[in-house]
Structure 1
């Protein structure tokens, strides 16, 4: 099960020998929502993720996991799907990108990851927390990206990223990097070795939409 789903989301990374930015492109698309909850002391309490996948990929998953061939996924089949997805993306930190003053923040594995189908589209729903307590810094950013570049997960509207409990003295903004500018700024790292890394690359992270929270430092 793990191997089959991994083929869906990781085939591009496994099959690349070398690619340029013009040749690398996603094959699976998902619209995302992110709910960030901040405690009164400025500590990040949790991130709530919802991903809605495109019709073609959703249909592929339905056929793959519909073991009784009734053209729908029952509770057991959805549970198997959720387990497979969780195992497949766990090595990629569940496609999460959290940065604190320029440093990557490791996220704990979600206690529960749910799979569901609504209007014939696959939904992935989960909550996560930082592995270590994370207090908002001068700049803290949140987003999602697939390092294999096989899946494009994006927030269609700025309002699809929502913050609850933003402390006084902090501001938030949604950043949507310009691809040409992002490539120009990172040209020095876009080498053949970069694209040949079997663990994936940060290229999609460079392009990923993110929410930045900036807070005044009080010493």
Structure 2
């Protein structure tokens, strides 16, 4: 997560995670799963379900920062503080979500809540976001999860971790993993100096996102 997502971090934590400016390399790592939720008729996309498992270093730092009673674990109240902090802090980044239909951005509702827990000493974050308006499975629909500041690497280690249950047989699915050098070369004309220097990230950073692409054709 970008450092501004955790403004409570102590000076020691800031030394671990950076000064708060954008970096060409991520400092926090998470393995992820994304489930695309369809309506009952399997004709429209209604929501996205996320599961992020964070790396040991980041997880241990969160544990250290939120363990108010120093019992080396987070109780329900402490976990709620983690959840609430992440929820409010990632709002400006659309919770790292990218959804497009035929190349046009699709608006998402903020998740009602996030759930933070620990499993095998690793921080897990789970949440579901609904689309403002369900979109039909027609043409090309893309789903991605990325940090526009490049501070956090959201990694889908297997293509199966970007899933759609009940996808109609009129649709094909493909996981697209852009090569950074190729993406830069293909978009060089549209990338400005501001892209490389803006600590808040820009929309162009989506060219580096791993995406699930659905290509749906009308029934014959």
Instruction: Give TM-score scaled by structure 1 length.
Output: 0.88
> Mapping of 1:106-121 within 5 angstroms?
106-121=107-122
SS in 2 for 1:187: coil
What per-residue deviation string (whole Å, max 9, x for no partner) do you get for residues 110-156 of structure 1? 11210000000000000111112222231001110001110000100
What per-residue deviation string (whole Å, max 9, x for no partner) do you get for residues 133-180 of structure 1? 222231001110001110000100011111112123111111111222
1:25 aligned residue: 25
2:106 aligned residue: 105
2:46·2:133 contact (CA, 8 Å) conserved in 1? no
2:42·2:167 contact (CA, 8 Å) conserved in 1? no
User: 2-side partners of 1:209 and 1:87: how far apart?
Assistant: 24
Structure 1, unmatched stretches of 5+, are 17-22
SS in 2 for 1:177: coil
1:2·1:87 contact (CA, 8 Å) conserved in 2? no
1:136·1:215 contact (CA, 8 Å) conserved in 2? yes
SS in 1 for 2:131: coil
2:51 aligned residue: 50
> Mapping of 1:208-219 within 5 angstroms?
208-217=209-218
Count of aligned pairs: 210
Deviates more, 1:55-64 or 1:182-191: 182-191
SS in 2 for 1:3: coil
User: 1-side partners of 2:62 and 2:195: how far apart?
Assistant: 30
RMSD, aligned CA:
2.2
Structure 2, unmatched stretches of 5+, are none
Aligned counterpart in structure 1 of residue 8 of structure 2, from 4, 10, 23: 4
Superposed displacement of residue 38, structure 1: 1.5
